[in-house]
Chain A
Amino acid sequence: MRHLEDYEDAISRCFHCQICQAACPVYLQDLLETYCARARLGLVQAVFLEQTLKVTPRLREVMDRCLFCTRCTRHCPAGVPLDDVFALARENLGKQLGEQGRDGGAWTAPDAGVPGPVAGPLKSGLGEIPAVKGPVRARVAYYPGCATSRLFQDTGQAVLRVMSENGVQVMIPEGLSCCGFPAYVAGDLHTFRRAMQENLSILSGLDVDAILVDCASCGMAFKVKAGEVAKGDGAMEDQAARVAEKTWEATDYLNHLGPVAEPGAVAGVWTYHAPCRIGWTPTAEEAPEALLQHIPGAQYEALETTGACCGAGDLFHLRHGELSRSIRTKRLKEIRRNGAHTVVTQCPFCRYYLQQGGSDLEVMHPLAFLARAYGEMREA
């Protein structure tokens, strides 16, 4: 496990160029510099490393008012791992204030209908895996996260259907649990690491060509963050590296493999909302357009800004309703101006939150849209 002190060098790489202002949805809404990543980083440094400022309720407020969208990290020219530093800062803050980590530690599933972390083993409930059509081109394991297992089974069924149509043999391993990303975000790194250990021990032993996820956050957990919390534990580092190497977002994987099934016609205008946390693989943002543009009748209209947040941020929207709604309003305005009725995105939180704000729209995973083009899906 790494500590804040291990990041001292990385933190000092911040040039104060302020480019993070352009990336942070919270800053862009509040227009207060305290909320840009540069200033947050300076606070972490002053409070936890230099001890020149104290832990105060205002500090907690500042560190909490972050969606953990990780856009700052992706945007930072100096390569400062801002998200890791902020997760550790939340951990330190929680310890100093004698709190449990907020969302992840408790594993309290929020109200029915709201995606969130689920305690215990994942029960996919996706029914039987359809037989592969044609020759088997690849064998993959599919990790259906909490949202797909509990709430959005249509996404999971679409992934299975689309893969089978394209010669991909899918298996869903037994015994998987939540990837733990919500715990990481809450600064409960211990819980995140434990969740990762369980999942890695299952996934790293599989003889498959790829491990597919349908959620940007699960993907980031496996592709990037597992390696980060594994540091210092050689065996876990190896497992994390093996899993990271094989982790793909499902849309991205199919586009990479090349689809063979011919989609039928689906009328309507659609667009793509790129989830903030998809940054772990640049090609996942290109995949939906590349894959879905061949659907006859479906017309793609790109959004003006590719880098805009929906405001959800896991359960952030439950605690910061007004802020989240303001961010969502901007995004929905853009989507409506664009004229699309269908919005595809690879994040269940984006899907849930955009759908809540836009009952005139339908929001779904890109492969669900493709599955529709392959013919009617059976009911869940």
Chain B
Amino acid sequence: MSGLARDLTALLDSGKVLTDPEDCHAYACDAVYYFARRAPEAVVLPETPQEISGILRYASDQKIPVTPRGAGTGLSAGCTPVQGGIVLDMKRMNRVLEINRGNMTARVESGAVLGPFQQQVEAMGLFYPPDPQSQEVSTIGGNVSTRAGGPRGVKYGTTAHYVLGLEVVLPDGEMIRTGGTCVKQSVGYDLTHLMTGAEGTLGVITKVNLRLLPLPPAHRTAVIVCETLDQAAMLVSEIIAEGTIPARLEYVTSGAVQLMNATLTPPLSTDGEAYLFTELDGSPAQVEEDTQRLRSVCDRLEAMELRIIGDEREAETYWRARRNLAPTLLRLFKKMIVEDVTVPRDRIPDFVRALQSISASLGLIIGIGGHAGDGNIHPSIMFPEINDDLEAKAKEAVRRIVRTGLEMGGTISGEHGIGLHKAEFLVWELGEAQIALLKRIKKAFDPRGIMNPGKIWQEGGEA
């Protein structure tokens, strides 16, 4: 038994400490699997904050890197143990501790899985909107740490907008509670929202207080078939400018629709160049009114087809197909690089045109399949083959996409976080002075540099 394994089993049950190469291999990467793979030396499966506290105290003392991990569904190499050490698998701390109807809040352990939590909340007539597309398996702690979002961002924002308070174990083993369960809070620095999105570099989130909404009583899903991508972009701006904010408003390209058609009945026409998948929600009257408005915008802009899906079960087949789109694309391509650049929504048509020109000038396939309504349209570079030429072109395309997005007043990440995958562009958005400040904050929380080192900025997170 290695020294590390021996020390860890002195701290907690041997069944919660894994050091076999097979287990470490399972924790070497997230969904950016082609990037920054490195197996940890140990995987630990804590069940209480006290166990985590003990591990962090030990790791601080020994200067061993610790990388907290939810379901490993991230898209930025955020939970990859790039400097080895210990992976803290949080998935056994998965209890939903309280759903408070009167206060419209919930309290969960950070390893609680998003999808089942949402079902539980909805069964009580409540609503927790954030919907990263990995929601079937992703953990709420991971969502908080990356400010994860999804299609509902357009109307309801991302995870960050629902976090009211946290329980955190700091790198020295100290436990703190930030924020609380009040919708109004004005006490000192907002550590809750500093920890939110910190990607596990400042401490380990063990519990989360979340804000809930009432569940909208009516929903209606519609698909708009558009002749061109440009028309789709114009429709997005117009629908919102007319005063309808859909609960979801997604771009899908014709190539993607061909794949999705395998699970859609009847299949969608593949004549369009772009498709908008949208959902309206609210009171029945509101949904009816928004449907009429949607019809009139589609008529005015001469959309090819507007398909209203009446049945909720049928509607779910569309959203499931949308949810599974990214992995489904690997039926056709060998690799894809998913970008997360987000622009203000009035710049969507400009951004889409810019993407088309980048794609044409480099001869690359750049898929646009994302959250059109909030400007987070996930330009994705598709690899029919893997070779050096394509890799070089893709690298150049990413630089141009990021540059263009920033010039339009956008951001390099809307919902995936920086991790390591997006770290090289951080300086373009934040500048040196801000990064220096981030590093000082990191140092104040984690003077020994043990928490998820090597992330967010490039030269190593250990300050």
Residue from B23, B33, B92, B324 within 8 A of A19 (CB atoms): B324
**A22-47 toward B: CB 8 Å interface, digit per residue (1/0)?**
10000000011110100100110010
Contact A77 B328 (CB under 8 A): yes
Residue from A13, A18, A53, A56 within 8 A of B72 (CB atoms): A18
A224 within 8 A of partner (CB): no
Distance (whole angstroms) from the CB of A254 to the closest CB of chain B = 24
A266 within 8 A of partner (CB): no
Q: A21-B137, A78-B330 are in contact. Are A33 and B22 (CB under 8 A)?
A: no
Contact A16 B29 (CB under 8 A): yes
CA distance A32 to B111 in the complex (A): 12
A291 within 8 A of partner (CB): no
CA distance A31 to B29 in the complex (A): 17
Which 9 A/B pairs are nearest by Cβ-Cβ distance?
Answer: A39-B26, A77-B324, A77-B327, A15-B327, A16-B33, A34-B26, A17-B327, A21-B137, A78-B330
Contact A13 B331 (CB under 8 A): yes
Residue from B26, B32, B94, B328 within 8 A of A43 (CB atoms): B26
**B281-316 toward A: CB 8 Å interface, digit per residue (1/0)?**
000000000000000000000000000000000000
A293 within 8 A of partner (CB): no
A residues with CB within 8 A of B: 12-19, 21-22, 31-34, 36, 39, 42-43, 46, 53-54, 56, 58-59, 62, 76-79
Question: Which chain B positions have C-beta within 8 A of A19?
Answer: 134, 136-137, 324, 327
CA distance A17 to B325 in the complex (A): 11
Residue from B20, B137, B328, B334 within 8 A of A58 (CB atoms): B20
CA distance A43 to B23 in the complex (A): 9
For the complex with contacts A17-B134, A34-B23, A76-B327, 8 further pairs of A-B residues with Cβ separation under 8 Å are A16-B72, A18-B137, A32-B18, A32-B89, A33-B89, A42-B28, A77-B326, A79-B328
B30 within 8 A of partner (CB): yes
CA distance A12 to B333 in the complex (A): 10
Q: List 20 A-B contacts (CB under 8 A).
A: A14-B330, A15-B330, A16-B31, A18-B138, A19-B136, A19-B324, A31-B89, A31-B91, A33-B89, A34-B22, A39-B25, A42-B28, A54-B21, A56-B22, A58-B20, A58-B23, A62-B22, A77-B325, A78-B331, A79-B331
CA distance A19 to B135 in the complex (A): 9
CA distance A36 to B73 in the complex (A): 13
The DSSP consensus for interface residues of chain B is loop
Question: Which chain B positions have C-beta within 8 A of A79?
Answer: 328, 331
Residue from B27, B29, B73 within 8 A of A17 (CB atoms): B73
Residue from B92, B134, B324, B331 within 8 A of A18 (CB atoms): B134
CA distance A39 to B87 in the complex (A): 15
Q: A34-B22, A42-B25 are in contact. Are A22 and B115 (CB under 8 A)?
A: yes
Contact B30 A16 (CB under 8 A): yes
Distance (whole angstroms) from the CB of B266 to the closest CB of chain A = 17
Contact A78 B25 (CB under 8 A): no
Q: Count of A-B contacts with CB under 8 A?
A: 92
Residue from B32, B72, B325 within 8 A of A33 (CB atoms): B72
Chain B, residue nearest A22 (CB): B136
Question: Which chain B positions have C-beta within 8 A of A16?
Answer: 29-33, 72
Question: Which chain B positions have C-beta within 8 A of A17?
Answer: 31, 73, 134, 326-327
Residue from B20, B26, B43, B326 within 8 A of A56 (CB atoms): B20
CA distance A34 to B22 in the complex (A): 7
CA distance A17 to B71 in the complex (A): 9
**B207-230 toward A: CB 8 Å interface, digit per residue (1/0)?**
000000000000000000000000
Chain A, residue nearest B32 (CB): A16
Contact B137 A33 (CB under 8 A): no
Question: Which chain A positions have C-beta within 8 A of B89?
Answer: 31-33
Residue from A13, A22, A77 within 8 A of B137 (CB atoms): A22
Contact A18 B94 (CB under 8 A): no
Question: Which chain A positions have C-beta within 8 A of B334?
Answer: 12
**B50-74 toward A: CB 8 Å interface, digit per residue (1/0)?**
0000000000000000000001110
Residue from A32, A36, A59, A78 within 8 A of B327 (CB atoms): A78
Distance (whole angstroms) from the CB of A33 to the closest CB of chain B = 5
CA distance A22 to B31 in the complex (A): 16
CA distance A17 to B145 in the complex (A): 18
Q: A12-B334, A17-B31, A19-B134 are in contact. Are A31 and B25 (CB under 8 A)?
A: no
CA distance A56 to B31 in the complex (A): 27
Contact B134 A31 (CB under 8 A): no
Question: Which chain A positions have C-beta within 8 A of B29?
Answer: 16
CA distance A17 to B29 in the complex (A): 11
Contact B21 A53 (CB under 8 A): yes
Question: Which chain A positions have C-beta within 8 A of B138?
Answer: 18
Question: Which chain A positions have C-beta within 8 A of B325?
Answer: 77
Q: A13-B330, A31-B91, A77-B327 are in contact. Are A21 and B71 (CB under 8 A)?
A: yes
B45 within 8 A of partner (CB): yes
Chain B, residue nearest A21 (CB): B137
Chain A, residue nearest B34 (CB): A16
Contact B71 A18 (CB under 8 A): yes
Question: Which chain B positions have C-beta within 8 A of A21?
Answer: 71, 137
Distance (whole angstroms) from the CB of A2 to the closest CB of chain B = 19
Contact B25 A43 (CB under 8 A): yes
Contact B22 A43 (CB under 8 A): yes
Q: Identify which of residues 327-342 in chain B touch chain A, using a CB-to-CB cut-off of 8 Å.
A: 327-328, 330-331, 334
Distance (whole angstroms) from the CB of B123 to the closest CB of chain A = 10
CA distance A54 to B22 in the complex (A): 9
Question: Which chain A positions have C-beta within 8 A of B31?
Answer: 15-18
CA distance A32 to B25 in the complex (A): 12
Distance (whole angstroms) from the CB of B101 to the closest CB of chain A = 21
Contact A31 B136 (CB under 8 A): no
**B265-285 toward A: CB 8 Å interface, digit per residue (1/0)?**
000000000000000000000
CA distance A62 to B22 in the complex (A): 8
Chain A, residue nearest B22 (CB): A58
Question: Which chain A positions have C-beta within 8 A of B20?
Answer: 56, 58
Question: Which chain A positions have C-beta within 8 A of B115?
Answer: 22
CA distance A16 to B421 in the complex (A): 15
Question: Which chain A positions have C-beta within 8 A of B72?
Answer: 16, 18, 33
CA distance A15 to B328 in the complex (A): 9
CA distance A36 to B91 in the complex (A): 13
CA distance A58 to B89 in the complex (A): 19
Residue from A31, A32, A59, A76 within 8 A of B94 (CB atoms): A31
CA distance A59 to B25 in the complex (A): 11
Distance (whole angstroms) from the CB of A315 to the closest CB of chain B = 24
Question: Which chain B positions have C-beta within 8 A of A18?
Answer: 31, 71-73, 134, 137-138
CA distance A18 to B138 in the complex (A): 9
Distance (whole angstroms) from the CB of B277 to the closest CB of chain A = 16
Question: Which chain B positions have C-beta within 8 A of A34?
Answer: 18, 22-23, 26
Chain A, residue nearest B29 (CB): A16
Chain A, residue nearest B333 (CB): A13
Q: A12-B334, A21-B137 are in contact. Are A53 and B25 (CB under 8 A)?
A: yes
Q: Identify which of residues 31-52 in chain B touch chain A, using a CB-to-CB cut-off of 8 Å.
A: 31-33, 43, 45
Question: Which chain A positions have C-beta within 8 A of B45?
Answer: 31-32
Which residue among A34, A53, A79 has the maximum number of chain B CB atoms within 10 Å of its CB? A34
Q: A16-B30, A78-B328 are in contact. Are A32 and B23 (CB under 8 A)?
A: yes
CA distance A17 to B136 in the complex (A): 11
CA distance A76 to B89 in the complex (A): 23
Which residue among B115, B326, B330 has the maximum number of chain A CB atoms within 10 Å of its CB? B330
